[in-house]
Structure 1
Amino acid sequence: MSLRSRFGAFALVGTVAASLAAPAFAQAGDASQCLVPGGWARADGVAPQVVDGAGLLAAMAQRAVVLLGEQHDDMDHHRWQLQTLAALHAQRAHLVIGFEMFPRRVQPVLDRWVAGELTESEFLAQSEWNKVWSMPAELYLPLFHFARINRIPMLALNIEPTLTRAIAEKGWAGVSEAQREGVGQAAAALAAYEDFLFEIHEQHALARGKSAAKTARSDAGFRNFVDSQLAWDRAMAEAVVAGRQRHASADGALPLAVAIMGNGHVRYGHGVAHQLRDLGEHSIGQLMPVGADTACGELSAGLADAVFAVPVARQSAPPPPRLGVALEEHAKGVRIAEVTPGSLAQRSGLRPDDIITEVAGKPAKRPLHLIAAVRLQPGGTWLPLKLQRGGESVEMVVRFPVER
């Protein structure tokens, strides 16, 4: 699926949802590679420097908070998170694990899961996994089981998508205090973060056929967009701080909090770490996985405290299916902002402004829901969609070509 946006965890509120997952893009023509597969490197100079993993993780275990990034749909990223969690837990057993994937309202379900009171299927059903995240549960289940078998508290960090959408539409000031789910006023965006968000906002405007020349940083649409991203980061930072306090030991010692979230909330310390510092927490570690074939130019100084080079799979399997659309969230489902000419989407009859409401009989609330369904679709099969077009309900089937 082709997304014009460069975000992976954010949404406009939605188009942004697929590329914050990736680190900074390589400079044109920079094909040099400098990572050792299965090794750690520090991006703090002209070129990444190899670092000793044992020493790095020993130092990270002494921090108050460690943020572990991910690209949501990459299983190797989650395998890396699991081994990193295990290494940190071995050195500091007093630990809590926060998850971007869960809104805070399902915290009681996470507590019952860790206590061993729920089966796996009960946990996924009661936490409304297919509604709140909808990436394949198999990607995250090893992390959830690790927490349960070790009785490590899990923290639900996120807010409801309806709140981020409301802020994106009305701005922070336009949303009543009763709607804010207890989230406080976020620290202002760092200049570099706002620059990045502005670039994303311009891409979104172009995808919708608007001239970039008409876009300005003072535009209400952009200011509201910034507000929504800051509120998202702030909410997760506050949940991490509160979770550490809630699980303090009898003598008052606070646990290490390891937070699982999209790379976009981690990169360069612009997202959650910035909000944590505003809350008074400065002992923060930030770690990210990247492909071992990542070009040096992508690993600019300050990207994270360290990156882990995930070996690139060498296989002859065909790439995952792609519809060829740009997506964004909508109050009624997932809106198609753009259809690539000649793509599977165009051949199937999908059009810009279609609002997909169901995928294979399940509600489509976020772009990730559609992305996950498409990427898991075997060749030669059909994927039923239900959508709104011009106020009418339309049912459609996407026929995926047979793999060759």
Structure 2
Amino acid sequence: MKPRHHLHHRTCAGLALGALLLAAGAHAAAPCVPVGRWARPTDGAPEALDSGPWLTELAQSGIVLLGERHDSAEQHRWQLQTLAALAAQQPRMTIGLEMVPRRLQSVLDRWVAGELGEAQFLDAVEWDTIWGFDPALYLPILHFARMNRIPLLALNVDRALVSRVSESGWDAIPEEAREGIGDPEPASTAYLAFLRGKHARHNRADDERADETRFERFVQSQLLWDRAMAERIAEVAQRDDAPLLVVLSGSGHLVYGYGIPHQLAALGAPRARVLLPYSAEPCSELVPGYADAVFGLDPVAERDAPAPATLGVLLAAEDGGVRIERVFDNSVADAAALRPGDIVRELAGREVHSVADVVASVRRQPPGTWLPIVVERRGKTRLVLAKFPPEPEP
């Protein structure tokens, strides 16, 4: 089984946070979390936080989890700003990365030590194959770590293991093939409901029992991902000389404490602080437990920031093609009605033989154009047209 691949998606969890509320009449009211300010979700209006004391508290907290939408340049800028502010108060910091499996820890070490150039690093860390999001979104953070000799920590497992769980379930994986990961803590009822909503959007089965089996395996693969990262975090956080550990992860693994925080608590790790960016969701989302704090981002900057062409799928190598394992919400693939299980055979008239073929074709796609995709679905071939959004108007 070859590793799966994230091909740029519009949201890991469908969680770009915040909204602009309209006052009575035609006048716009101020956002419930001002741009550039921290706030704590409450039962009423979000509670404003003084950034100085708040950052001091975070720097002393042990574990800080920073959420992101992987393709958002503005959210990565916020992450870098927060990392810099925390490093100024606590130089003994380590940055944990969802994007890198543990087997490539030595590559991160060599990058931080200054032994690799950008191209060498991206090749050695298998960026396009394993992660696939535009590296330009992450390189400022990676350079910040190297300039300040801040260690980088690989958190994840190989995608091949996650793929096997998606196909066969956790119980079918032999102990020796689990990469040392223990049994995940079961998902809470609320997390199951959250995941069921995401699963139902993109998995339409003719057989209800088959659909339920797919959902159970989807949950198990999600819990594996959460558990793998949590175990690595706990391993570092529970050392006597533990640094401040700041983790970069998709918001879907953090929101409401469902994913990584839930697994950390089961492992007896120190309490983690969850911080999420806020820009374009209703303020009704900001309830106690949503996150420890949110940071207001400019919704215009979020919407208008230039981004590379993205399809919005999770891919796996398949003999004679590439299989779509997951379709992300609000993505180009979602709008084109691509589905998990589809085998990509051709893109723009060219045969597809590898994940790299898909990555290269999508990255070449101009804004506002259509990409013809030939897929095989349940033994039948069909043509799907994926429309990429136009460039934002100046």
Q: Same fold (TM over 0.5)?
A: yes
Give 3-state SS (helix, strand or coil) of 2:165's partner: helix
2:214 matched to which residue of 1?
Answer: 221
1:145 matched to which residue of 2?
Answer: 143
The alpha-carbon distance between structure 1 residues 204 and 35, as it changes in their structure 2 partners (threshold 3 A), is same
For this pair of structures, how many residues does the alignment match?
Answer: 373
1:265 matched to which residue of 2?
Answer: 253
Residue 240 in 1 paired to residue 237 in 2?
no
The alpha-carbon distance between structure 1 residues 17 and 169, as it changes in their structure 2 partners (threshold 3 A), is farther
2:57 matched to which residue of 1?
Answer: 59
Q: Following superposition of structure 1 onto structure 2, how do residues 185-204 of structure 1 map, counting pairs within 5 Å?
A: 185-204=183-202
Query: What's the % identity of the aligned pairs?
Result: 42
The C-alpha deviation readout for 1:338-372, integer Å capped at 9, x for no partner, is: 9xxxx9989x9989964226879894389xx76x9
Give 3-state SS (helix, strand or coil) of 2:214's partner: helix
Residue of structure 2 aligned with 1:178, choices 150, 169, 176: 176
The C-alpha deviation readout for 1:187-220, integer Å capped at 9, x for no partner, is: 1112211121122233233xx3548xx3699x43
Give 3-state SS (helix, strand or coil) of 1:135's partner: coil
The C-alpha deviation readout for 1:301-323, integer Å capped at 9, x for no partner, is: 21100000111226996997989
TM-score normalised per structure 2: 0.79
1:335 matched to which residue of 2?
Answer: 324
Give 3-state SS (helix, strand or coil) of 2:32's partner: coil
Q: Please report how far the alpha carbon of residue 158 of structure 1 lies from its aligned counterpart in structure 2 after TM superposition.
A: 1.1
The C-alpha deviation readout for 1:102-136, integer Å capped at 9, x for no partner, is: 11111110011011111111111100101110100
The alpha-carbon distance between structure 1 residues 156 and 270, as it changes in their structure 2 partners (threshold 3 A), is same
Partners in 2 of 1:297 and 1:311 — Cα distance?
18
Q: Please report how far the alpha carbon of residue 337 of structure 1 lies from its aligned counterpart in structure 2 after TM superposition.
A: 8.6
Partners in 1 of 2:147 and 2:7 — Cα distance?
35
Residue of structure 2 aligned with 1:118, choices 97, 116, 119: 116
The C-alpha deviation readout for 1:246-292, integer Å capped at 9, x for no partner, is: xx6xxx4210110000000110111101111111113211101111x
1:313 matched to which residue of 2?
Answer: 300
Residue 364 in 1 paired to residue 351 in 2?
no
Residue 304 in 1 paired to residue 291 in 2?
yes
Partners in 1 of 2:387 and 2:217 — Cα distance?
38
1:231 matched to which residue of 2?
Answer: 224
Q: Please report how far the alpha carbon of residue 297 of structure 1 lies from its aligned counterpart in structure 2 after TM superposition.
A: 1.2
Q: Unpaired segments of 5 or more residues in structure 1?
A: 1-10
Give 3-state SS (helix, strand or coil) of 2:245's partner: strand
Partners in 2 of 1:25 and 1:176 — Cα distance?
43
The alpha-carbon distance between structure 1 residues 385 and 295, as it changes in their structure 2 partners (threshold 3 A), is closer
Amino acid at match of 1:313: V
Amino acid at match of 1:335: I
The alpha-carbon distance between structure 1 residues 85 and 255, as it changes in their structure 2 partners (threshold 3 A), is same
The C-alpha deviation readout for 1:344-402, integer Å capped at 9, x for no partner, is: 989x9989964226879894389xx76x9758732477868686678799999979798
The alpha-carbon distance between structure 1 residues 216 and 42, as it changes in their structure 2 partners (threshold 3 A), is farther
Contact 1:167 1:224 in 2 (8 A): yes
Partners in 2 of 1:156 and 1:358 — Cα distance?
34
Q: Following superposition of structure 1 onto structure 2, how do residues 12-161 of structure 1 map, counting pairs within 5 Å?
A: 18-22=11-15, 33-161=31-159
Contact 1:63 1:285 in 2 (8 A): yes
Contact 1:99 1:156 in 2 (8 A): yes
Give 3-state SS (helix, strand or coil) of 2:300's partner: coil
Q: Please report how far the alpha carbon of residue 223 of structure 1 lies from its aligned counterpart in structure 2 after TM superposition.
A: 2.3
